[in-house]
Amino acid sequence: MLTNLIRARVARGFPPCLAAAILFLLSTPLSSPAQSLDSSQSTGSIAGTVVDQTGAPISGAHVKFTADAASSAQEVVSDENGQFFLANVPPGPFHLAVSSQGLAPQTSSGTLASGESLVLPQILLAVSSASIEIRVSPVEEAEREIKEQEKQRVLGFVPNFYVTYVRDAAPLTSGQKFRLAWKSTIDPITFGITAATAGIEQAQDTFSGYGQGSQGYAKRFGSAYADTAVGTFLGSAVLPSLFKQDPRYFYRGTGSRRGRVLYALANVFICKGDNGRSQPNYSLILGTLAAGGISNLYYPASDRGARLTFENAGISLAATAGVNVLQEFVIRKLTPAASGAGQSTP
């Protein structure tokens, strides 16, 4: 409309050159200051590499780009070489967030110049503390539990190694079974009890074939210690390794008094296998009978025979049953280390 008006003025004598100048200005589009500033700036790019603590590239790492001058974020994933590339990045301050499963995320900031192709230093992703899982093997767990058991002493000095207060205790390896048997056999208290037993037998002239005096006492001491050693190794190491059974008594500590007594007595004939299941206690029963049979090799000839075998076996099994009952109701209270670490609450 304004153009038509100027043309009309020219027709009425308006100077043509001035009219032409006005028409040129009107026909040229005006640019805002902001548009001029934007046209003077161009987008750039950002590239980088994501690696782990060993320097190996991380494929599939998630890279999120945000810029102060942009309202939306740009996201890419690193390739098999751990590299990523962001194109058409607006100039100005920016923020990067890099993450990968199982690794601690990393963030970085910077400023991209107009038209710049920025290559970032390697981005290192460390293992996340939340994703670290410590796996303890059954052997290591059993080793830790054995060390706790070896501290268990009634009244602080009598060994109480063959009871566990951990209901789901890890199964013992054959080596651990033999080690526990050896430690029990060579304990000073074992020698002391053996010496006392030999003294009582000497006083009562038990196994008279041994005679009296120091020689008779030495024979009684030797046979008593042999009974203990052979019975311990056969019933708690050799046969448990063959039958894959646990030689320990698993403390119950809960239930009625009658139930606990029956549980203690039943453990003479029932034990826990290395697979965690209850099964006949072949190790203890056969080990006791075998030890009784072996005792015929060193007892006086007048006392040898099937009677000695079954008599010693019966005494040993009865003693085990009695100790099991004491374990349930008395011994734990007298064992200071029984309330230590590594035990379950009854």
- Residue by residue, pLDDT tens for the chain (346 residues) are 444 444 444 444 445 444 444 444 444 444 444 343 344 578 889 999 999 988 899 999 999 999 877 677 889 999 999 999 999 888 889 989 999 988 889 998 889 888 899 999 999 998 876 655 667 788 999 999 999 999 999 999 999 999 999 988 999 999 999 999 999 999 999 999 999 999 999 999 999 999 999 999 999 999 999 999 999 999 999 999 999 999 999 999 999 999 999 999 999 999 999 999 999 999 999 999 999 899 899 999 888 888 888 888 899 899 999 999 999 999 999 988 774 444 443 3
Q: Taking each helix axis from N to C terminus, what angle separates 2-11 and 16-27, rounded to the nearest 10 degrees?
A: 170
pLDDT value, residue 21: 44
List the Cα angle 28/33/35 in 5-degree steps: 75
Contacts for 129-136 with beta carbons within 8 Å, 24 or more apart? 129/104, 131/102, 131/103
Residue 309 phi, psi (nearest 5): -60, -55
pLDDT value, residue 308: 81
3-state secondary structure the chain: CHHHHHHHHHHCCCCHHHHHHHHHHHHCCCCCHHHHHHHCCCCEEEEEEEECCCCCECCCCEEEEEECCCCCCEEEECCCCCEEEEEEECCEEEEEEEECCCECCEEEEEEECCCCEEECCCEECCECHHHCCCCCCHHHHHHHHHHHHCCCEECCCEECCCEECCCCCCCCCHHHHHHHHHHHHCCHHHHHHHHHHHHHHHHHCCCHHHCCHHHHHHHHHHHHHHHHHHHHHHHHHHHHHHHCECCCEECCCCCCHHHHHHHHHHCCCEEEECCCCEEECHHHHHHHHHHHHHHHHCCCHHHCCHHHHHHHHHHHHHHHHHHHHHHHHCHHHHCHHHHCCCCCCC
Task: Tell whether pTM > 0.85.
Answer: no
In 10 A of CB 188, how many CB atoms?
A: 9
pLDDT value, residue 129: 64
Q: Per DSSP, what are the bridge partners of residue 51?
A: 57, 124
Report all structural domains of the chain as residue ranges with CATH numbers, in order of start.
42-131 (2.60.40.1120), 138-339 (no CATH)
CB neighbour list of residue 95: distance below 8 Å, 6 or more residues apart: 65, 66, 67, 107, 108, 109
CA distances from 284 to 157, 196, 240, 276, 327 (A): 25, 25, 8, 17, 17
- Token pair in block for residue 6: 């100027």
| Nearest by Cα to 59 from 86, 77, 47 | 77
